Chain A
């Protein structure tokens, strides 16, 4: 029997760590000492916020927008947080990239007053969205209208829980036997789209799958 897919929602409230940085060196010092929760917030949770698609985490965005160190921001944006099992490993890579950059560019400019980097962390609430689906057609309707934070939880946050894959493709494969569809979903680059675009991509893939299922002669 198919286990229904239960959509969950994800909401955070921000908490200040009390640390801020006005220069790249201060950013480096901050990354070295802030809590794992703060690193998590500024990297993994970046996709939950309205953001510029040029960057993939808050550190890269700040380096690009506030101190205008574009080469550094490109390198920071290329780090895939889901490649790390432990947040401290991700922290090490962030520090290595900044240290390497500082070797070649000794005096990056400071951020103007008011544009400092503020290290925050989040307290996260996870709760049922009240939507449960049993088949692909129901799933298609749900994904079109479900809150964006649900897509974040099942498409991004799941990668940490499941070791690099999303909840949707897992359910399609395990519960509906849709291996090919799962593979297509797993090919969507999570860093190159906003949540709304992810919604559109998944909806398109499902639409075509539902259509094929309906046309198939069984």
Chain B
């Protein structure tokens, strides 16, 4: 499988993966998160586990189970970590722990290295068996509600290492804190090359006309993704530029708020027949790929963001991207080079107009974006980094490792 990335991913990443696998061969690597489908974490794990297995690591992926109450609580925790005010009572924290305890009884936690993703399963550390335990935080915790992160911190500090996507999310805890951006898989259904017929087929399926440029945002229906702001920007652009807006997203099993937001968005867009709101079922990767390839401009106008992988997805497809200057988006968009960073609805509208009126610039940005993603945000780089963290924990105290 690793050969399939040859000629696509940077050779150095593939070489280092192979070297690290020689050192870690046949050892077990367990990943635990809270959803099998929906959202960037599940998506990366679906692709990464087979790659790890094929390079000789005994990789396994487990998903914790919980009821509606549990996921309501974890959604509140998620929101509070993003900086929104939420009340998490002692009862709720106890329930969070209890559900994790039940999962610890159900899941085999024995492995040489364990990577726990996000806050939902973070209490599993209490049931740690001897191994390297790492906590991977995918969300923007740069400005969290203090008491909520404070509570979680007692769990985080028991891990051997924590991994954040961006420097400014790190927390000065007494554990090793690594900075590893997430990634996309260039050969997955979501990112592979598609024929023009296939792109047209998807557009026809959703009855989207091909006669005008398409502005697209792919994201969960979540306030932090600012879907209403996207519609406002689009309405501003329409004064001089005829175009179509598509808002496409999949529901996630761990996000009870999604339906409410979707209803609000539909109501707000109801007076404009050129706005297409697509609620795609899970595993609609090929359709999302086609929508991104069919778009003239891709937006990720988030107000808060862990990383915003849809930015790299669109850049990989050679599209100019306009993103909110939050979370990991500025790491992907080099302002004015691979796309534009914006801070407001007006800013988004201005940049859409600028790109629509400069096709040469759009093409140049797209080409540079693809190369930037190739060097920095492909899944092989992330596999390399996770194995590197594990290997460096095995060689503590050394800052230079020769392989």
Given A15-B176, A15-B177, decide whether A123 and B392 contact each other with a Cβ distance below 8 A.
Answer: yes
Instruction: Please encode chain B, from 164 to 194, with 1 for each CB lying within 8 Å of some chain A CB and 0 for all others.
Output: 1001101111001111100000000000000
Asked if A6 lies at the interface with its beta carbon under 8 angstroms from chain B, I say no
Question: Among the listed B10, B16, B176, which residue makes an inter-chain contact with A127, where contact means beta carbons less than 8 Å apart?
Answer: B16
Asked if A19 lies at the interface with its beta carbon under 8 angstroms from chain B, I say yes
Asked if A68 lies at the interface with its beta carbon under 8 angstroms from chain B, I say no
Asked if B400 lies at the interface with its beta carbon under 8 angstroms from chain A, I say yes
Asked if B388 lies at the interface with its beta carbon under 8 angstroms from chain A, I say yes
Asked if A1 lies at the interface with its beta carbon under 8 angstroms from chain B, I say no
Complex alpha-carbon distance, A14 and B331, angstroms:
14
The answer to whether A129 touches B12, judged by C-beta atoms less than 8 angstroms apart, is yes
Asked if B238 lies at the interface with its beta carbon under 8 angstroms from chain A, I say no
Chain A residue with Cβ nearest B19:
A127
Report the minimum CB–CB distance from A22 to chain B (whole Å): 11
The answer to whether A13 touches B401, judged by C-beta atoms less than 8 angstroms apart, is no
Asked if B402 lies at the interface with its beta carbon under 8 angstroms from chain A, I say yes
The answer to whether B177 touches A16, judged by C-beta atoms less than 8 angstroms apart, is yes
Chain B residue contacts of A127, Cβ below 8 A? 15-16, 19, 402-403
Given A18-B177, A118-B167, A125-B401, decide whether A149 and B12 contact each other with a Cβ distance below 8 A.
Answer: yes
The answer to whether A14 touches B167, judged by C-beta atoms less than 8 angstroms apart, is yes
Complex alpha-carbon distance, A130 and B401, angstroms:
17
- The residues in A between 16 and 48 inclusive whose CB is less than 8 angstroms from any CB of B are 16, 18-20, 37
Chain A residue with Cβ nearest B10:
A147
Chain B residue contacts of A9, Cβ below 8 A? 12, 15-16
The answer to whether A116 touches B388, judged by C-beta atoms less than 8 angstroms apart, is no
The answer to whether B401 touches A120, judged by C-beta atoms less than 8 angstroms apart, is no
How many interface residues does A have (CB within 8 Å)?
Answer: 28
Chain A residue contacts of B10, Cβ below 8 A? 147
Chain A residue with Cβ nearest B372:
A50
Asked if B384 lies at the interface with its beta carbon under 8 angstroms from chain A, I say yes
Complex alpha-carbon distance, A121 and B177, angstroms:
10
Report the minimum CB–CB distance from A176 to chain B (whole Å): 26
- The residues in B between 178 and 216 inclusive whose CB is less than 8 angstroms from any CB of A are 178-180
Report the minimum CB–CB distance from B355 to chain A (whole Å): 22
Chain A residue contacts of B399, Cβ below 8 A? 37, 121-124
Report the minimum CB–CB distance from A16 to chain B (whole Å): 4
Asked if B43 lies at the interface with its beta carbon under 8 angstroms from chain A, I say no
Chain B residue contacts of A14, Cβ below 8 A? 167, 178-180
Mind listing 27 A-B residue pairs with CB under 8 Å?
Answer: A9-B15, A9-B16, A11-B13, A13-B388, A13-B389, A15-B176, A16-B164, A16-B167, A16-B178, A50-B334, A50-B372, A114-B142, A118-B170, A120-B167, A120-B179, A122-B399, A123-B400, A124-B400, A125-B19, A125-B401, A126-B402, A126-B403, A127-B15, A127-B19, A127-B403, A129-B12, A130-B11
Q: Which 8 A-B pairs have the closest CB atoms?
A: A18-B172, A118-B167, A16-B170, A14-B179, A16-B177, A127-B403, A147-B12, A9-B12
Q: Which residues of A does B touch, CB under 8 Å? A: 9, 11, 13-16, 18-20, 37, 50, 114, 116, 118, 120-130, 147, 149-150
Q: Which residues of B does A touch, CB under 8 Å? A: 10-13, 15-16, 19, 142, 164, 167-168, 170-173, 176-180, 334, 372, 384-385, 388-389, 392, 398-403
Known: A123-B400, A130-B15. 16 other contacts (CB 8 A): A14-B167, A14-B180, A16-B167, A16-B178, A18-B177, A19-B172, A118-B170, A120-B179, A122-B399, A123-B388, A123-B399, A125-B403, A126-B401, A126-B402, A129-B12, A147-B12
